Amino acid sequence: MSFTDIFQSSFLQNVTAVSVFDMVVALVLAFCIGVFIFFVYQKTYQGVMYSAGFGVTLIALTMITTLVILAVTSNVVLSLGMVGALSIVRFRTAIKDPLDIAYLFWSLAAGIVLAAGMIPLAVFGSLFIGIVMILFTNRKTFTRPYIAVISCSPAAEEAVAEQLSGNADKCSLKSKTIRRDMTEMTYEIRLKSDDTQFISELSDMSGVESAVLVTYNGEYM
């Protein structure tokens, strides 16, 4: 193959399929939107242990998706090969929080829309989604569930149930374990307010050995 054949190759013709200006604008905007998604994720995170790596992944995922879609839109043949190559990729990381899936899909969607040239949709759509996530994720209510674990004597079971029912809108027994002369009961309760002083009063009751109250969000107790 001569140098003439190299310069006439269709491979080199594809170099100018996407202009440098378009690439720079798309990647810079992808970075900005990715950073915005990252800050919204930080603001709305409610899990047990915050993962900074996942936040950086959101930025990288937005830029990588933009890069891939720019390549796909510039060449139909390349797009078919890209689909075949990506179809063999398998992700094994478990997603524990459903909100994490929303953020991953948000990053992917923003990168795709941005690379497709729909810049206003990507920018204003991301702003709108970010506002909605902040408003609804950080919304404070008094109906969040709690788990109360009470260890008491069998004679104090009724008094414990009455004390919990009097301080909660909803109180349901989830489990009951009897060990010799002690009973351990687990209740799911929804408080009337955020005042948890009653748990101290409960622990001081006759026959109650211990009383534990923890917030329950579906992941841990």
Same domain for 106 and 156, yes or no, is no
Evaluate whether residue 85 is within a structural domain: yes
Tokens of 184: 């351990």
Same domain for 111 and 175, yes or no, is no
Evaluate whether residue 14 is within a structural domain: yes
What span, in angstroms and rounded, lies between the C-alpha atoms of 23 and 101? 28
Evaluate whether residue 221 is within a structural domain: no
**The pLDDT of residue 220:** 43
Nearest C-alpha neighbor of 59 from the set 28, 37, 27, 26: 37
Same domain for 164 and 118, yes or no, is no
Residues of the chain with pLDDT under 50: 3, 6-9, 11-12, 220-221
The strand order across the sheet containing 208-215 reads 168-179, 182-191, 145-152, 208-215
Side-chain half-sphere exposure of 97, counting CA atoms within 13 A: 18
Same domain for 167 and 105, yes or no, is no
Provide the number of structural domains found in the chain: 2
User: Which tens digit of pLDDT belongs to each residue from 2-58?
Assistant: 545 544 445 445 555 667 787 888 889 999 999 999 999 988 887 666 677 888 888
Predicted TM-score (pTM) of the model is 0.62
